Amino acid sequence: MNELTRPPIDVRFEGLSAPVDSRFAGMTFPAYRHFLDFEPVRRHPQAPNTPLVMPVALGAFVTGEPVALALAEIREGQTSNAEMLSLFVVPAYRRRGLGTALLNSMGAFLSRMGVEKAMGVYMTGQPGQEAVERVLEKAGWSKPEIRQLTLRCTLEEARRLDWYGKYALEEGYSVFPWKDLTETDREALKESQRVTGWIKPDLEPWKHDAEGFEPVSSLGIRLHGELVGWIINHALDERVVRFTCSFIRRDLGRRGKIVPVYTESIRRLSESTGFVEATFTVPIRHRGMSNFVLRRSAPFLSFSFLGETRGTTKILTR
């Protein structure tokens, strides 16, 4: 039977609560399986200072059997927004409109809970990208926009990149573990940002370290003692570390000066931690860094992954 002659499915959607049928666990990413306990949780439990979120899940059943799952989260204190985390239909029921119907039902379900705007972020370069983009389009979500470049590779590969170890820190520069930043330094930095606005707002370190950071490889950069930059990283799990935020004062010729600090950060990860992979995320609007990833790094990695995250939103109407 081809998909055109498939009969319509008699499907039932149901808001899920604990305990759920264990088959639903296989319908979302491993990192989100703890959401199916329906307790207020943190997205990454190993990052204790991240905000608590409330999981919301809608399951689809055909003759009592679970066949699809939509999973979302609502952040504590931000109940008019929700983020879709995953959408999954078992292969036997795909291409019959189920994914779209489930996403639409999830929108209505969230709207009844008071959510006004839903957003979603997904990674390109994965199987199923065409299907998910088509489903978003059919369900009336906004045209996906590139948010970030993501490069993933082993630390061993990173150490073979041509820039690794090639440039030394120039005279006057020094690095220190970000965990050693004093409160006085931090207050002085905030004050200088308030007065002169020299840091790109999305790279302000307090937006990235407030919820915890990887202590060995997150580094501050000083020039003649003055704090001029930072690399702030996060553990995603016990194997993978994410280079989340890196910044150096604009007038210092950014990339040239920060590359040796990347080397130092990767070296410390390799020598003093058990991490084996690194993910670099770069907001696409930071052209210098995006080019560094696209031109100086990605082409030279044989077993790496390069993708974009794309974001999409939908205003929910009651």
Ligand X SMILES: CC(C)(COP(=O)(O)OP(=O)(O)OC[C@H]1O[C@@H](n2cnc3c(N)ncnc32)[C@H](O)[C@@H]1OP(=O)(O)O)[C@@H](O)C(=O)NCCC(=O)NCCS
In the complex, what is the shortest distance from the CB of residue 6 to ligand X, in angstroms, rounded to a whole number?
A: 11
In the complex, what is the shortest distance from the CB of residue 53 to ligand X, in angstroms, rounded to a whole number?
A: 17
In the complex, what is the shortest distance from the CB of residue 241 to ligand X, in angstroms, rounded to a whole number?
A: 23
In the complex, what is the shortest distance from the CB of residue 88 to ligand X, in angstroms, rounded to a whole number?
A: 4
In the complex, what is the shortest distance from the CB of residue 217 to ligand X, in angstroms, rounded to a whole number?
A: 29
Q: In terms of CB distance, is 86 or 105 closer to ligand X?
A: 86
Distance CA 216, CA 11 (A): 50
Q: In terms of CB distance, is 66 or 99 closer to ligand X?
A: 99
Query: Shortest Cβ contact with ligand X: which residue?
Result: 99
Residues that bind ligand X (CB under 6 A): 86-89, 94-100, 122, 128, 130-132, 134-135
Q: In terms of CB distance, is 94 or 159 closer to ligand X?
A: 94
Task: State the alpha helices, DSSP H only, in the chain.
Answer: 98-112, 129-138, 155-158, 183-196, 206-209, 254-272, 287-291
Which tokens in the block code for residue 292? 């560094």
Q: In terms of CB distance, is 84 or 269 closer to ligand X?
A: 84
Sheet strands (E) in the chain: 11-15, 41-42, 52-62, 65-75, 81-89, 117-123, 145-154, 173-177, 219-223, 226-235, 240-248, 277-283, 305-315
Q: In terms of CB distance, is 26 or 177 closer to ligand X?
A: 26
Which tokens in the block code for residue 203? 């790279």
Q: In terms of CB distance, is 144 or 229 closer to ligand X?
A: 144
In the complex, what is the shortest distance from the CB of residue 215 to ligand X, in angstroms, rounded to a whole number?
A: 31
Long-range contact set of residues 92-100: C-beta below 8 Å, sequence gap at least 24: 92/67, 93/9, 93/62, 93/67, 93/68, 94/131, 95/3, 96/3, 96/6, 96/8, 96/9, 98/9, 98/11, 98/60, 98/67, 98/68, 99/68, 99/131, 99/135, 100/135, 100/138, 100/139
